[in-house]
Structure 1
Amino acid sequence: SILIVGNSLRPLVRSVKIATAKFAFVAHTVGVCIASMSPISSWVGMQIGFIGGVYETLGGPWAKADPFSGFIATLQYRFLPLLMLVFLLINAVTGRDFGPMLDEERAALLLPDAPASSSKEGERAAAPSPDGPLDPPAGTPLRARNALLPFGAVMGVAFGGMISQGLGAIAQLPLASRPAPTVVNALRFADSVSALIWGSACGWLVALGLTLQQRLLKLPDAMEAWSTGMKEVL
């Protein structure tokens, strides 16, 4: 997600003259802090697995403890991510920096404006000098729906998949120990990793369909971009 946000917002960051170091710090901090506390993330799924393993090792009454509830109970003690988010909020409200970050922000204000050409109404064309292999070719119209629809597909399918998996897992439990089919219980029994994989695949298919439907790229070029993106993630 950090790679997606970074590549998507790079032109905006340049246009408003935010230092790349500042943007990288904000993107990484928000991405890591939220992912460490959000149930809809593979990171939290791994943490729940670790907690469950510790419960089994302890044995006794801990062997029957719910690792998801244990994870929820630890949220109030996550001082680092919580305080980092508060720090970012204070920094954004006050607009004040210090140390090397202040030097980066001052240097960013001296950069020339990024060139941008207009195409149709409500659209922008990509700048003639791309920053990397995942940037669109020069003159490609930049449409908001080409980002919003894939993002929405990823989130919708991932969350819906977790709910569906969790409810299915609950239905297979013995009736005597079956909890109520609520959203929280569904998230407890869901496999977040597989749901996120399905969500990512769905988002990629939506992005591919939009690209081909608008003739922004040919299929070989789109597959090459997908391969490059996979290398960036891995």
Structure 2
Amino acid sequence: MARVVKNTLAMGLLGILCSPLPVIFAIMLNEVKHKYFRKIVQTAATFPNFISWVIVFSLSFSIFSSEGLFNGIMTSLGLIDKPTNLLGNADAVWYFQTALLIWKSLGWTSVIYLAAITGIDAEIYEAGKMDGASRLKLIWHVTVPGIMPTFIVLLLLSVSNILTIGFDQYYAFKNPLVADNIEVLDLYVYRIGIATNDYSYATAIGIAKTFVGIVLLFSVNMFAKKVRGQSIV
């Protein structure tokens, strides 16, 4: 059980540490002046969100398995002596799964921040330009403060849901080589409840996880109220 909690917290914290990436992507996308190029990039970045984790696993297997595209290119270039199976690397599974999650959700999450940027008063940008502010200064002093409330709300919600980081992804990528490092609470509850028919224990874990999530939600809500002067729920 301690191993499962460790895996859940580790990958949850890695996800939280990477939470500024959609903000950076949204800001960069907003600064692109070519409308059609911006739409193409946004569509390409958002599309992975609608791909099933089973398909993501199939693509990852084709690219990162021992005989996949990645190892073929690296071997042909002489950068590695023998192929490595990234899908079976227990030491890298936390980082690999976090990278996949970022790739899948980056574009979709950035849509929220793009909407927040759209809500910033255009007159503030015009005033900054009249005062001689560069694009970088406008980003730092206007765009970033404008989307910071949205970022804080999503960040606090991510903290409250740190024990609920998903099931599909880890179920699809689980294999005997990485089973000990990829099993999270949701997958553990499924294995205990469905695979071994220990419904009472699985239910107890699920209830405990829900209770902890509620406690975290109200805790971050109180924290947000003290810091921002406004609660998130």
Structure with higher RCO (Cα < 8 A, 6+ apart): 2
TM-score by length of 2: 0.30
